[in-house]
Amino acid sequence: MTRVCAIIGATVGGWLVFGLLPGIWQPATAQDLSAPSVVPVEQPAVPPAGEMTGQSLIEHLNHALDKALSGSVGAVTGSGAMPLVASRKARPARGPVVVELFTSQGCSSCPPADEMFARFAARPDVIALSLHVDYWDYLGWEDPFAQPAFTQRQKGYARAAKSRSIYTPQMIVEGRQSLIGGDETALDMMVREEKGRQKAVSISVSGSDGQYQIELSADPPQPQGAIVQIVRYMPAARVEILRGENAGMVVNYANVVTAWHAVAEWDGRTATRFNAKIEGDDPAVVIVQSAVPGKSAPLPGPILAAERLN
């Protein structure tokens, strides 16, 4: 367990995720252990003064998203986005389907979903990303993979769907469909449905050895802006849980997210090319996701395109 914690501490940082404004919630006092666990979603609160020095990551992301939603041409921090001369005329190829699993080592309903999710993580037509939330840590076991930013991302999805509750386990498919629990047949049907949905955004990735060039174009142009995000993950982890609801269990996890960075904003209309530099050995994927207006901050919308960085 010490080794796992050290790995996470070294790789997690620079969080820039949708729905990052913290919410106020109270832990559930009772749970139905045969059903997915649920906590209420409250309205977002403004971060206390002095919580971060200088411009916070929240402010940085909100500034980028506000510009994207207003339709300005995207810029890439440190790498320089470049508009292309012309967008592609061919229809975009259908890339892998992004499935996000919100889970916790402290939730008794989660291990079956984690096991099922690992089978989807092995599929080449799926980008499976496991995000561990922190709101079950109070039960006696602090999930070493959990990050508050992942809880806020899940709350962002709930607000976008006008839901006042969040659940574990919960899966979000392509940023648009939600599945509570671990129904493998239902998840497979959602993936098939998304694979049949025609994509308007084309993404092309070239390069290797940590140096990549990413090209984006849309046909037809998108009605709102989007954020380009790079996600890093640990392909596999095995954890012995010593306390809490799952005490005594040894659980295998797949594609545990260790870092999620917003790296560029895109207007959704102008064909654009930018460079991305990736350091370290953890696998990475690039995700282009629409930004949905929210009361206090933009919320995560449908995923427009995604690709692996090999």
- Region class of 285: left (phi > 0), else alpha (psi between -120 and 50), else beta: beta
In degrees to the nearest 10, what's the CA dihedral of 264, 268, 271, 272? 0
Over 233-295, what HEC string results? EEEEEEEECCCCCCCCCEEEEEEEEEEEEEEEEECCCCCEEEEEECCCCCCEEEEEEEEECCC
| Cβ-contact 144, 1 below 8 angstroms | yes
Residues 61, 265 contacting (CB under 8 angstroms): no
Query: Phi/psi at 176 (nearest 5 deg)?
Result: -130, -25
Maximum separation of any 2 CA atoms in the chain, in Å:
59
Q: Is the pLDDT of residue 16 over 60?
A: no
**φ, ψ for residue 127 (rounded to 5)?**
-105, 105
Answer with the residue of higher pLDDT: 280 or 133: 133
Confidence grade of residue 41 (pLDDT, cut at 50, 70, 90): low
56 SS3 class: coil
User: What residue type is 211 in one-letter code?
Assistant: Q
Among 267, 259, 270, 307, CA closest to 287: 307
Residue 2 phi/psi, 5-degree rounding, is -60, -40
Quote the CA–CA distance of 201 and 199 in Å, as a whole number.
6
Distance between terminal CA atoms of the chain?
A: 28
Check residue 91 and give its pLDDT.
Answer: 53
pTM above 0.85, yes or no: no
Phi, psi of 146 (to 5 degrees): -75, 145
Top pLDDT among 185 and 7 is at 185
| Percentage, residues of the chain above pLDDT 90 | 59
Indicate whether 189 pLDDT > 70. Answer: yes
Give the confidence band of 94 by pLDDT, cuts at 50, 70, 90. confident
Side chain identity, residue 227: I
Q: Which residue has the tokens 């790296």?
A: 263
With H, G, I as helix, E, B as strand and everything else as coil, classify residue 301.
strand
pLDDT on residue 199? 87
> Mean per-residue pLDDT for 168-190?
97
From the list 277, 300, 273, the residue with the least C-alpha distance to 289 is 300
Average pLDDT, the chain: 78
pLDDT at residue 8, rounded to an integer = 29
CA atoms within 13 A on the CB side of 194: 26
